[in-house]
Amino acid sequence: MERGGLVVRAALLGDLDAITKLEYDSFPEDRVSRRSLRYFLSAPHQPVIAATIGNELAGYALVSLRKGARSARIYSIAVDARYARRGVGLALLQACEKYARLQGRAALTLEVRYDNAAAIALYEKSDFRHFGEHSDYYADGATALRYKKDLVRSRHSQDRGPPRRSKRARLRRQR
């Protein structure tokens, strides 16, 4: 996907150095190791998504898929500070949603540090809903807020016109 010089694509093994640097710059603790990033970049289902502007890595996301689970999880998402507020985070979120749908997942979940106001605003604007928290989640003891976005609409949520009145309500109205 390309948008105004922003290209979102499956990350490649050649992106390892840039992704590792971004991960380490973005998360002083609780980060994905270089070894794990290498593993995920080599995975056949391509769970790492890169966002580039020009030839520079602007951001990346890692989507975790548990076998047999109904949902996918954004395990890590980071945007280089030089590219903040340029739509990189939103583009990565949209790519994660597309990836999860292609993998047959019904929902997408993530955890975010309770004091990361910019990320929380982006997730809520993107229709993620807060559904719980993990106390003492991060190495420094901070709480993680849990967010979820349903990717498939249930039969009940589809627009089927105005709600039908029950038989009892129709009878009351006729009297």
- What does DSSP say about strands 107-113 and 71-79: parallel, antiparallel, or unpaired? parallel
pLDDT at 13: 96
- Residue 8 inside a domain? The answer is yes
| Residue 158 included in any domain | no
Residue 15 near residue 41 (C-beta atoms within 8 A): yes
Domain count along the chain = 1
**Which stretch of DSSP H or E encloses residue 113?**
strand 107-113
The pLDDT of residue 7? 96
Does 115 map to a domain? yes
Q: How many CA atoms lie within 13 A of 5 on its CB side?
A: 9
* CB-facing half-sphere around the CA of 9: CA atoms within 13 A: 14
DSSP 3-state of 107: strand
pLDDT at position 4 is 61
Return the pLDDT at 10.
Answer: 96
Residue pointed to by tokens 């990320």: 119
Per-residue pLDDT of the chain (175 residues; tens, 9 = 90+): 655 689 999 999 999 999 999 999 999 888 999 999 999 999 888 899 999 999 899 999 999 998 889 999 999 999 999 999 999 999 999 999 999 999 999 999 999 999 999 999 999 999 999 999 999 999 999 999 999 999 986 554 444 444 444 444 444 444 4
Residue 69 belongs to a domain? yes
Does residue 89 belong to any structural domain of this protein?
yes
Does some domain include residue 164?
Answer: no
Pairwise CA distance, residues 75 & 70, whole Å: 16
CATH of the domain at 132: 3.40.630.30
Whole-angstrom distance, CA of residue 82 vs CA of residue 169: 59
Structural domain including 56 reads 2-153
Q: What's the pLDDT score for residue 145?
A: 97
In this structure, is residue 75 part of a structural domain? Answer: yes
Q: Is residue 147 in a domain?
A: yes
